[in-house]
């Protein structure tokens, strides 16, 4: 198990950049198994200007994207460089949003590899605020063929 990646390490591993980096810290990572990652939600997020000005709520699609980015970090640390260069996110199923996420919340993403068969990787993802589940989804990634 690996403990704690800061934002510098995350930026080394993910291609995302401001304003689209949605993971601030990795709390725990066990390659091939699971990750727990953190996103601090602040009123300074650019999407709050329009979603919604009088009642800011984090868009659900961005919560899913945060879970996907956490899953991406898990996969990067779970496979060799040759394989991870061929991994691509391919789907999200059963996304559910239970509680609004607002400025001041800390989102904790948990992503677990549920199974891998051949070139398909399926993951279960949840997002929690104060230990209360706010969202969940099933994620899928594919390992592309070599040329």
Q: Under a CB-based contact definition with an 8 Å cutoff, are residues 101 and 134 in contact?
A: yes
Say what percent of the chain tops pLDDT 70: 99
Q: What is the pLDDT of residue 129?
A: 98
Please give the mean pLDDT across all residues of the chain.
95
Where in the sequence is the domain holding 40, given as residue range(s)?
A: 2-143
Q: What is the pLDDT of residue 25?
A: 97
The catalytic site residues sit at: 51
Coil, strand or helix at 46: helix
pTM tops 0.75:
yes
- What does the alpha-carbon distance between residue 79 and residue 17 come to, in Å, rounded to a whole number? 23
Q: What is the pLDDT of residue 53?
A: 86
**pLDDT < 70 positions in the chain:** 147
Q: What is the pLDDT of residue 4?
A: 81
Alpha-carbon dihedral sign for residues 67, 71, 76, 78: positive
Q: What is the pLDDT of residue 42?
A: 97
pLDDT digits (tens, 9 = 90+) for 84-110: 889 999 999 999 999 999 999 999 999
- What does the alpha-carbon distance between residue 31 and residue 111 come to, in Å, rounded to a whole number? 11
CATH number at residue 26: 3.10.129.10
- What does the alpha-carbon distance between residue 7 and residue 25 come to, in Å, rounded to a whole number? 6
**Number of domains making up the chain:** 1
Angle value at C-alpha 90, between 77 and 94, nearest 5 degrees: 100
* 146 DSSP assignment: P
- What does the alpha-carbon distance between residue 94 and residue 91 come to, in Å, rounded to a whole number? 10
* 20 DSSP assignment: S
- What does the alpha-carbon distance between residue 49 and residue 34 come to, in Å, rounded to a whole number? 34
């Amino acid at each position: 198990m690996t403990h704690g990646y800061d934002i510098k390490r995350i930026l080394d591993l993910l291609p995302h950049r401001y304003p689209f980096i949605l993971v601030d810290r990795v709390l725990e990572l066990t390659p091939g198994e699971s990750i727990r990652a953190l996103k601090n939600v602040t009123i300074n997020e650019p999407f709050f200007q329009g979603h919604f000005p009088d009642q800011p709520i984090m868009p659900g699609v961005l919560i899913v994207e945060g879970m996907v980015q956490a899953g991406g970090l898990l996969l990067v640390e779970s496979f060799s460089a040759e394989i991870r260069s061929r991994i691509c996110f391919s789907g999200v199923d059963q996304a559910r949003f239970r509680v609004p996420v607002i400025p001041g919340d800390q989102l904790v993403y948990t992503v677990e590899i549920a199974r891998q068969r051949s070139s398909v990787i399926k993951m279960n993802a949840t997002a929690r605020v104060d230990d209360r589940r706010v969202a969940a989804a099933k994620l899928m990634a594919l390992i592309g063929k070599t040329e």
